[in-house]
């Protein structure tokens, strides 16, 4: 890239790509939105026209084979992530891959191995946005001993909540052929918790499919094989346990999420008081030390308030300005192994040890 222009091609210009990645990359100096490949040439051309992208491709192979493309943003569902990542790295392209990383941990390990075989190329998986505003401050608080030793974490996640309804259309998260072992937003929230309290060393799980059939795009009744309710109990490698409940079909009266972190010297509670409002929920953080008579609000210092900067980090990493932290392939493989462990645990009824 002698002229210092980074030319990015998009494979799958879906909702999240259009909402976040395209504007985020467009805002970066010296970045050209150079190409787009959707499922058909007509779809690619529509995306190129809508987002003012330089070139439309008939298929993703043509985009990856184009020597004028320096980096690829993969916006497809997980079923294509491994194939596209391996092809892009083999062609010498940097890779920004939409989450979830892959269909399962085997595919994720292949992606990690390919990235390690190409150390001059940047690879990044899009991280979850839910905790970004407060994440660094929470990490610092816990690392500095605010709660002491972590004893137990209780996380209840209902951020795609609704009442059981067989008329609800099939989402890609309901389709194992598209999503693999990924279940609801379970892996997303494990990734969030992984940054705060560390990795799991063993997993137990119970799951059920509440809505057993849904209608696909053709109106055909389809059997659901992915749970829409999970209860997960896992041990932390550093000590302590986590109880995570994830559900999407148990009503709408509960907040999107409710998180308690209990330690031997303090407690942190995080929830979303304005969950009825559209858009990203506002975090409310409460805390109390052993010596406190009651919990009080924890305010994130202005200099620690985080935000979405995925595309900035990706481009800066390509330019050697900063490393990828949110999320690198190594961390993403860990949440994919957890995802597989949950799958194995709820199907077998056994405790599954990690790493796999």
What CATH number corresponds to the domain at position 84? Answer: 3.40.50.720
81-93 per-position pLDDT tens digit: 999 999 999 999 9
The mean-pLDDT minimum among 8-12, 212-216, 261-265 falls in 212-216
If asked whether residues 190 and 294 sit together in one domain, one would say: yes
**What's the rounded Cα separation, in Å, for the pair 150 and 263?**
4
276-325 per-position pLDDT tens digit: 444 455 799 999 999 999 999 999 999 999 999 999 999 999 999 999 99
194-233 per-position pLDDT tens digit: 999 999 999 999 999 999 999 888 889 999 999 999 999 9
Residue 84 lies in a domain: yes
If asked whether residues 147 and 63 sit together in one domain, one would say: no
If asked whether residues 88 and 151 sit together in one domain, one would say: no
Residue 1 lies in a domain: no
pLDDT over 90 percentage in the chain: 87
Across residues 30-35, what is the average pLDDT?
A: 98
Across residues 162-173, what is the average pLDDT?
A: 90
Residue 281 confidence (pLDDT): 56
If asked whether residues 173 and 256 sit together in one domain, one would say: yes
Closest by CA to 195, choosing from 257, 99, 254, 127, is 127
Residue 254 confidence (pLDDT): 85
Domain that residue 345 falls in:
135-306+336-353
**What's the rounded Cα separation, in Å, for the pair 325 and 313?**
8
If asked whether residues 146 and 275 sit together in one domain, one would say: yes
If asked whether residues 98 and 231 sit together in one domain, one would say: no
* Residue 318 CA to its chain's centroid (Å): 21
**Burial class of residue 65 in the structure, from the number of CB atoms within 10 Å of its CB (0-12 exposed, 13-18 middle, 19+ buried):** exposed
CB of 318 within 8 A of CB of 182?
Answer: no
128-162 per-position pLDDT tens digit: 998 999 999 999 999 999 999 999 999 999 978 88
If asked whether residues 139 and 238 sit together in one domain, one would say: yes
If asked whether residues 320 and 347 sit together in one domain, one would say: no
Structurally, how many domains does the chain consist of? 2
């Amino acid at each position: 890239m002698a002229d210092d222009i980074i030319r990015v091609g998009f494979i799958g210009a879906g909702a999240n790509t259009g909402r976040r990645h395209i504007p985020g990359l467009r805002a970066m100096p010296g970045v050209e939105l150079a190409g787009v490949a959707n499922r058909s040439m007509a779809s690619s051309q529509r995306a190129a026209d809508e987002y003012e992208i330089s070139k439309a491709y008939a298929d993703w192979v043509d985009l990856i084979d184009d020597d004028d493309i320096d980096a690829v943003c993969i916006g497809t569902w997980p079923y294509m992530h491994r194939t596209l990542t391996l092809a892009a790295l083999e062609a010498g392209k940097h890779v920004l891959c939409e989450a979830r990383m892959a269909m399962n941990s085997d595919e994720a390990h292949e992606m990690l191995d390919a990235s390690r075989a190409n150390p001059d190329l940047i690879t990044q998986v899009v991280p979850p946005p839910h905790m970004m505003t407060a994440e660094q401050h929470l990490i610092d608080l816990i690392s500095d001993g605010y709660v002491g030793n972590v004893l137990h974490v209780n996380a209840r996640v209902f951020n795609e909540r609704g009442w059981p309804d067989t008329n609800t259309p099939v989402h890609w998260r309901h389709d194992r052929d598209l999503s693999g072992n990924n279940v609801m937003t379970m892996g997303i929230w494990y990734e969030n918790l992984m940054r705060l309290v560390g990795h799991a060393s063993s997993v137990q799980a119970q799951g059920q499919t509440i809505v057993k059939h849904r209608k696909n795009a053709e109106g055909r009744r389809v059997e659901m094989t992915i749970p829409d309710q999970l209860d997960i109990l896992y041990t932390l490698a550093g000590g302590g346990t986590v109880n995570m409940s994830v559900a999407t079909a148990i009503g709408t009266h509960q907040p999107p999420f409710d998180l308690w972190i209990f330690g031997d010297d303090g407690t942190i509670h995080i929830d979303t008081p304005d969950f009825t409002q559209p858009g990203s929920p506002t975090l409310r953080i409460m805390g109390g030390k052993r010596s406190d008579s009651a919990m009080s609000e924890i305010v994130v210092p202005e200099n620690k308030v985080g935000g979405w900067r995925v595309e900035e980090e990706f481009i800066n990493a390509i330019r050697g300005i900063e490393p990828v932290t949110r999320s690198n392939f190594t961390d993403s493989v860990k949440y994919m192994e957890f995802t597989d462990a949950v799958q194995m645990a709820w199907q077998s009824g056994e405790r599954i040890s990690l790493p796999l």
